[in-house]
Structures are given as structure tokens and as C-alpha cells.
Amino acid sequence: GSMLLLLALLLLLLGPAGCPRTEPLSGSSAEPLFRGADRYDFAVIVPAGTSECFWQFAHQSGNFFFSYEVQRATGFANSRIILATASDPNGFQIGASQDARGQINFPTRETGFYQLCLDNQHNHFGFMQVYLNFGVYYDNFNAEREQPEERRQLNDTLEAIGVSIRKLQLHIFHMWRFYNFARMRKGADSFLLESNYHYVNCWSMAQSCVIVLSGVLQLYFLKRLFNVQGSSKPRC
């Protein structure tokens, strides 16, 4: 009896009722929508000949930002160019960028999940490590709870302090974006320095072996030039 009760409790906890809905336009249920965070920054590996896509939820009248940088690329050509695209909730492409680094910024005119894709179809022999920084921000930082009433005049001291704090948060957010740009460039430069370090070491060892081998061969051929075979006839 206790085992059946425990099994019933586990089914209730793991059932669909405990999972948040992910549909942006489903208003029939009172359950909160799973929208995730407003911004992300991470690195991802895109295998050769494939594409990786991500989705970011955004409200209407927001500001969407998407920046990327290819930190490391492998393969014969060692090309760091990748295709990045952004699409709206209806599937229409909003922007594209094909380079080693780039940005796609646009205002969000619809509420829903925006799609971001990285396409590595042109590179069939190596993977790419790409650092991503994307998300959405709102000028008032309160878009989900925005009241329809008109704003009060900034006569009150508390209201003026609140406006100043929101401006400061906006400036801090943009400084965070610049900081992530620096992190992207630092990672790419670090991988480039490491690759150049191994390249120089390998070529130095190869050239050293060639120099030593050429010296040994020269000594061998010079020694053979002065090698005199024995003869019964006297020399003049």
C-alpha cells in the first residue's frame, strides 16, 4: 500500500501538470509561461556541415541584440567565417551576418520566440567554437508589468529617483554588453595565440631536423670525395 502511494505521488510530481507551458500565445491556461532569462552569453561548438539554432522569448516593443564571434576553427582551410541569421516568431528572417564576428540588432515588433541560427554548412572538415551574446532589453525595464495609465509628472522626488535608477540600470546593461565584447575578443585572441605557438614550434622543430640532416649529408659526401681506395701502383 505504501509503495502504491509513493508511486502515485511520483506520477503527480513528474506528470505534465508540473511542467510550465512554452507556447508564447497560449492564453487558455493560467499556468505561467516558461520564457527563460532576458539575456545569455555562452560558447557553443558547431560541428562541420551542420547548423545550431536557439530561441529567445521577447515581448513587443523591446530591443533585441545578438552578437557572436568565432573563437576557434578547425579544418583544412581553417576559415572562421560562419553564417548567423535571426528570424521572428512567424519564421521570417529579420537579419543575417556572414563573417568571423558580427551583430544583429532589431526592435521586437511581436511577442513570441525569436530564432537565432549558426550555419556551418560551408565547412565540411572541421568544427567551430562560437561565443554568443544575445537577449532582449526594454527601455523601462518593466515591460511585463507595464500599466496602461499615463505616467505621472516627474514632480515627486521618489519618481525622479526611480527614473535615475532605471537610467543607471540601462547604462550598466550596455557596459555589460561591452564587457562581453571584450570577453569574446579575448577568447578569440587566446586561441589564435595558442595556434600560432604550436605552429611556430612544429615548424621550428621541422626546420632544425632539416638543417641537421643536411649537415650530416654534406659531411658524408665530402668524406666520400676524399676516400682513396687502396692500389698496388705507387703514386707520383
User: What is the Cα–Cα distance from 141 to 39, expressed in whole angstroms?
Assistant: 13
Structure-model confidence comparison of residues 52 and 8, the more confident one: 52
Local confidence band at 231 (pLDDT 50, 70, 90 cut-offs) = low
Residue 235, domain member (yes or no) = no
Residue 156, domain member (yes or no) = no
Local confidence band at 3 (pLDDT 50, 70, 90 cut-offs) = low
Q: Give Cβ neighbours of residue 46 (< 8 Å, ≥ 6 apart).
A: 52, 82, 118, 120, 127, 128, 129, 130
Residue 159, domain member (yes or no) = no
Residue 217, domain member (yes or no) = no
Q: Structural domain of residue 70, as residue ranges?
A: 35-140+166-201
Let me know: does 150 contact 90? Beta carbons within 8 Å: no
Number of domains, the chain: 1
User: What is the Cα–Cα distance from 138 to 191, expressed in whole angstroms?
Assistant: 35
What would the grid cell of residue 35 be? 520564457
Q: What is the value of pTM for the model shown?
A: 0.57
Residue 206, domain member (yes or no) = no
Residue 66 has a pLDDT of 92
Residue 20, domain member (yes or no) = no
Count of Cβ atoms closer than 10 Å to residue 78 Cβ:
12
Residue 218, domain member (yes or no) = no
User: What is the Cα–Cα distance from 189 to 178, expressed in whole angstroms?
Assistant: 17
